[in-house]
Amino acid sequence: MNSLLTSCALLAGLAAIVLLGQAARRRLPQNHLSAESTDAVKLAMGLVATMTALLLGLLVSSAKGSYDTERSEVMQLAAQTTLLDRTLRLYGPETADARARFRNLIADYIRRTWHERSGAKADPALEEVGNAFYTALQHLAPRDDAQRDLKTQAMRITMDLGQLRTLLLVQSVSSISIPLLIALVAWLVIIFFGFSVVAPPNATTRIALVTSAFSVAGAVFLILELDQPFGGMIRIPSAPMVNALRHIEK
């Protein structure tokens, strides 16, 4: 879902609803615009606005929670990457081939995830490189207890890296409920139409309502951006993984 296009379409739609509501006001009988009628409409719109605010907060919280979770997993991925390379260095020169495969694996992962903006998606080529690295680790033949412990530790860290990668793949689905998003838009239409009907049809009220529509569209934009943490404008930074790659290339 294109977040910028969606939010712009929402802004344009709400602005059109404002104009439609003010046009409808001119056609209403005068008794429908009495103080009592206006107060009743404001009370009803206040209730809908409260429910809309709660729903908007729920969507923001859901998108932000998902973004923070994936960002934390990327940080863990970077830390485990550095730790695994350090473990292989301590093992000895026999791990030169495995370390080279590991560097290529991390470099490809960074390129595909951030530079190509493919996100945390299954990639057969990347999986093949990862399997080759795991096989290289299995073929290590420890000469003493120290190397045996280091190999065990390296295998465990590799499994942890695979688990983190799998978690990122599983979490690549949208965290936003489409029915909730549709309900939010429907309630916004009701709110802006209702307030534009009871508000005096002048430039000040139009500007106020359109400004409010802009704020709401901006909130929806942020929700949609947070929901695509590897491909949108508000992306999870690649700096932790890039720094880890630089460290293991030394």
Q: Across all residues in the chain, what is the average pLDDT?
A: 87
Give the model's pLDDT for residue 188. 93
Report field, pTM of the whole predicted structure over 0.75? yes
Give the model's pLDDT for residue 131. 84
Give the model's pLDDT for residue 241. 92
- Overall number of domains in the chain: 1
Give the model's pLDDT for residue 149. 94
For residues 188 and 195, give the distance between their C-alpha atoms in angstroms, rounded to a whole number.
11
Give the structural domain span for 73.
3-248
- What is the C-alpha radius of gyration for the chain, rounded to an integer number of angstroms? 27
Is the pLDDT assigned to residue 33 strictly greater than 80? no
For residues 235 and 183, give the distance between their C-alpha atoms in angstroms, rounded to a whole number.
27
* Pairs from 117-123 (Cβ < 8 Å, separation ≥ 24): 117/230, 117/231, 118/230, 118/231, 119/172, 119/228, 119/229, 119/230, 119/231, 120/70, 120/165, 120/168, 120/169, 120/171, 120/172, 120/230, 121/169, 121/172, 122/169
Give the model's pLDDT for residue 1. 63
Give the model's pLDDT for residue 40. 83
For residues 210 and 223, give the distance between their C-alpha atoms in angstroms, rounded to a whole number.
20
Question: Per residue in 48-84, pLDDT tens?
Answer: 999 999 999 999 998 999 899 999 999 999 999 999 9
Which of 90-99, 122-131, 203-212 is least confident? 122-131
Question: Per residue in 144-177, pLDDT tens?
Answer: 999 999 999 999 999 999 899 888 888 877 888 8
